[in-house]
Structure 1
Amino acid sequence: MTSPNAPRAVVFDLDGLMFNTEELYQHVGAEMLRRRGKVYEKELVDAMMGRPAAAALQLMIDYHQLESTVAELSAETDEIFATLLDERLERMPGLVDLLDTLDTHGIPKAIATSSGPAFVERVLGQFDLRPRFHFVLTSADITHGKPHPEIYLLAAERFALAPGHMMVLEDSQNGCRAAIEAGAIAVAVPGGPSREHDFSGAALVAESLADRRIYQLLGVTT
């Protein structure tokens, strides 16, 4: 059963929420900076997390005053990341069970991510998850990246719902800020470095996607 006052749709972030890609990004960032004699400090990690790739890499350049361009760092990221995806990409705990429950109760779901479309299709395709979502929004669909609310306002529009009827699952402070500013029901599911982020305004800070409080907030029984 579904509660009549429960969220009518659910939007998933991708990196660090559905997959362990934030962990892999930490490895990539640390390796790129190691090659330049720099350290990937926590302050920089937190600032970059949840932002579109170009904006995140520009932050890295500015923070360490690197001579590299965004295009050069982007190509280097792709090179390092390609091997990691094949060897170490994993779904986050509780993801499949949550998707199954949403399907059972007929609750529509989508993805709204700061990543680019080619990367998203590759990651989803590795586990054949794309057909399980009504639509996918990527950095190619928006002008302003998270923490700007544009991507979640667009998701609500696609669902033909007021943002307040939509649950957003996010792992980062920047992502949660975007959801909260959009007026959505923000649920933080932090992991690794994001466990220390400020999630003020979130309806819930969950332990993982398997946290039963997410199901309670959705108003579903399992």
Structure 2
Amino acid sequence: MIPDPLEAVVFDMDGLLLNTEALYRTAIFEACARVGHEMVDALHLSFIGSPKETSAALLKAHFGPDFPLLDYYRHCRAAFERLCGSGVPLKPGARDLLEFLKDRGVPRGLATSSDRDAAEDHLRRAGVLELLDVVVARTDVASGKPHPETFLKAAEALGAAPTRCLALEDSHNGVRAASAAGMATIMVPDMLRPTDEIRALCVGVLQSLCEVQEALEQTAAVCSGVDRRALG
């Protein structure tokens, strides 16, 4: 059930606010090839929603302890920057939802597995950094997702009780983290589909941020709750 009243909304970044997961996929496959290895879909999908140290461990477990991480990361960054061109793309409805919440006085936070410098740079280039009140990155916490610390710290910085927050996530690890923090969680799938486990951790699964906004608009005042039927 959605918190009533709703004190804050906490967003994930890649695949939720930013339309970057497909770009990262291309960059990851290219970087892996450049260091002499072949990436596979199952391994790539296991990275989504995980902090860098988790993906590093997965790479070494799959390809062996001699996998050249530094060269891989260098190629990955270069490929991602080339694919972004002059800007970082937003997911449909991202700006509208952030502005909708801002106009109604609902605090907005970000909880991401990316490092702070990268997160702020990408949000700035996407033109939405100024629409967020708080950014909590992997480098701000001791434990990354699926541990709840990133979401708990975001709620604390926003001055909101976690149980009065709505979390928006696209990844399984993100949903696990937000739910463990006690937040009402909506999954907006990107590259991963919800499993039975993930559905059970969510108050709803919606197909876009546009649908999230539509659900919130069905109440006269955002901070007084939303129509649960719209979240199905």
TM-score (norm 2): 0.85
Q: Name the amino acid aligned to 1:195.
A: R
Cα deviation for residue 179 of structure 1 reads 0.2
Cα deviation for residue 116 of structure 1 reads 1.1
2:10 aligns with 11
Cα deviation for residue 213 of structure 1 reads 2.9
Q: Distance in 1 between matches of 2:40 and 2:215?
A: 33
8 Å contact kept, 2:7–2:106: yes
Q: Relative to structure 1, is the Cα distance of residues 66 and 83 closer, same or farther in structure 2, using a 3 angstrom cutoff?
A: farther
Higher mean alpha-carbon deviation, 196-205 vs 11-20, is at 196-205
Q: Distance in 2 between matches of 1:139 and 1:92?
A: 22
- The 5 Å alignment of 1:200-211 reads 200-211=200-211
8 Å contact kept, 2:89–2:126: no
* Secondary structure, counterpart of 1:50 in structure 2: coil
Cα deviation for residue 25 of structure 1 reads 1.0
Higher mean alpha-carbon deviation, 195-204 vs 126-135, is at 195-204
- The 5 Å alignment of 1:38-187 reads 38-65=37-64, 67-86=66-85, 89-187=88-186
Higher mean alpha-carbon deviation, 65-74 vs 129-138, is at 65-74
Cα deviation for residue 141 of structure 1 reads 0.1
Q: Name the amino acid aligned to 2:168.
A: L
Cα deviation for residue 156 of structure 1 reads 1.6
Q: Deviations over 1:26-46 (max 9, x none)?
A: 111111223355443232123
1:213 aligns with 215
Q: Relative to structure 1, is the Cα distance of residues 4 and 124 closer, same or farther in structure 2, using a 3 angstrom cutoff?
A: closer
4+ runs deviating over 6 angstroms: none
Q: Distance in 2 between matches of 1:63 and 1:53?
A: 15
* Secondary structure, counterpart of 1:210 in structure 2: helix
8 Å contact kept, 2:3–2:165: no
Q: Relative to structure 1, is the Cα distance of residues 63 and 4 closer, same or farther in structure 2, using a 3 angstrom cutoff?
A: closer
Q: Relative to structure 1, is the Cα distance of residues 4 and 25 closer, same or farther in structure 2, using a 3 angstrom cutoff?
A: closer
Q: Name the amino acid aligned to 1:32.
A: A
Q: Relative to structure 1, is the Cα distance of residues 207 and 6 closer, same or farther in structure 2, using a 3 angstrom cutoff?
A: farther
Cα deviation for residue 5 of structure 1 reads 1.4
* Secondary structure, counterpart of 1:187 in structure 2: strand
Q: Relative to structure 1, is the Cα distance of residues 77 and 11 closer, same or farther in structure 2, using a 3 angstrom cutoff?
A: same
Q: Deviations over 1:144-185 (max 9, x none)?
A: 110111101111211222211011111100100000011111
TM-score (norm 1): 0.88
Higher mean alpha-carbon deviation, 35-44 vs 54-63, is at 35-44
Number of aligned residues: 218
Q: Distance in 2 between matches of 1:62 and 1:164?
A: 37
1:31 aligns with 30
